[in-house]
Amino acid sequence: MNDVATKPATYVEIAPPSYDVDIDLVYATGDNFTGGRVYANAHCFLHTDAAAHLARAIELAGRLGYRLLIFDALRPSEAQWALWNHTPDPNFLADPRRGSPHSRGVALDLTLLDGAGRPFNMGTDFDAFTPLSHHGAEVSAEAQHNRHLLLGIMSTAGWDFYSKEWWHYQLFEPRRYPLAQDRNLDKPMMASTDR
């Protein structure tokens, strides 16, 4: 597949009550691997195709008594550059010259919450840039079970996974979707007001 986007860019904001999820956009806080805020505003967006798959995942998790907690969704290209400039590690970050599925609005970073709202033990924290974050890594049986549970929910809902990050899911063939810049969004996420 070539790099030419074939799907139109239409984004929807992911927020309750329209989407029954918990959201903690870590890049809108200082509690991430950069140590600073990447997003000035904590808005959670997805391409409409991805939002439909998210709705299915929410339904499947809910049937089991669980909830989804979203750490990141659409990441404007400007934010991808900020992350890459801080830590240019192609094992855990897409080179912004090629574009990330996040910057196309078709990827999610997330985990599961139990019925009491506690995050499941996944063996590592989100954004732990270590081989222990890989699917199939030698983590505890509990953590492996929980990763498989998340993988089952997301796969059944039509998401693909990234082998090196237990938290990352994306639509298949993400390059069909155009890259999004902050100015493409209804509400700005980045500090610049140049829209």
Q: Which two tokens stand for residue 86?
A: 């801080």
Which candidate, 31, 42, 30, 49, places its Cα nearest to that of 107? 49
DSSP 185: S
pLDDT band at 5 (very low <50, low <70, confident <90, very high): confident
Q: Phi and psi for 32 in degrees, rounded to 5?
A: -150, 175
Instruction: Say which residue the tokens 């089991």 belong to.
Output: 64
pTM of the shown model = 0.94
Whether 144 has a pLDDT exceeding 50, the answer reads yes
Say whether 195 sits in a helix, a strand or coil: coil
Q: Which pLDDT score, from 0 to 100, does residue 115 have?
A: 94
pLDDT number for residue 3: 54
Kindly state the average pLDDT of the residues 37-54. 97
> What amino acid positions are annotated as catalytic residues?
165
- For residue 23, give Cα distances in angstroms to 54, 62, 136, 140: 13, 16, 26, 26
Instruction: Return the CATH number of 11-184, one of 3.30.1380.10, 3.40.50.300, 3.90.1150.10, 3.90.1260.10.
Output: 3.30.1380.10
**Would you give the distance in Å from CA 116 to the centre of its chain?**
23
Per-residue confidence (pLDDT) for residue 191, from 0 to 100? 80
Find the mean pLDDT for residues 34-61.
97
Q: How far apart are CA 126 and CA 71, in angstroms?
A: 8
Q: How far is CA 13 from CA 17, 45, 125, 138, 186, in A?
A: 11, 4, 26, 36, 9
Confidence of residue 133 (pLDDT cuts 50, 70, 90): very high
Which pLDDT belongs to residue 112? 98
User: Each residue of 97-109: pLDDT tens digit?
Assistant: 999 999 999 999 9
Q: Is 169 helix (H, G, I), strand (E, B) or coil?
A: strand
> pLDDT for 51-101, tens place per residue?
999 999 999 999 999 999 999 999 999 999 999 999 999 988 999 999 999
* pLDDT surpasses 70 at 159: yes
Query: In whole angstroms, what is the distance from residue 104 CA to residue 139 CA?
Result: 31
pLDDT (mean) for 146-170: 98
Residue with tokens 């798959």: 53
Please report which confidence band the pLDDT of residue 163 belongs to, taking 50, 70 and 90 as the band edges: very high
Q: Which is nearest to 36 in space by CA: 26, 46, 50?
A: 26
By mean pLDDT, which of 2-6, 85-89, 116-120 is the weakest?
2-6
Write the DSSP assignment of 21-70 as a string of letters: -EE--GGGSS-STTSS-S-SS---EEEHHHHHHHHHHHHHHHHTT-EEEE
> Confidence band (pLDDT; 50, 70, 90) for 4?
low
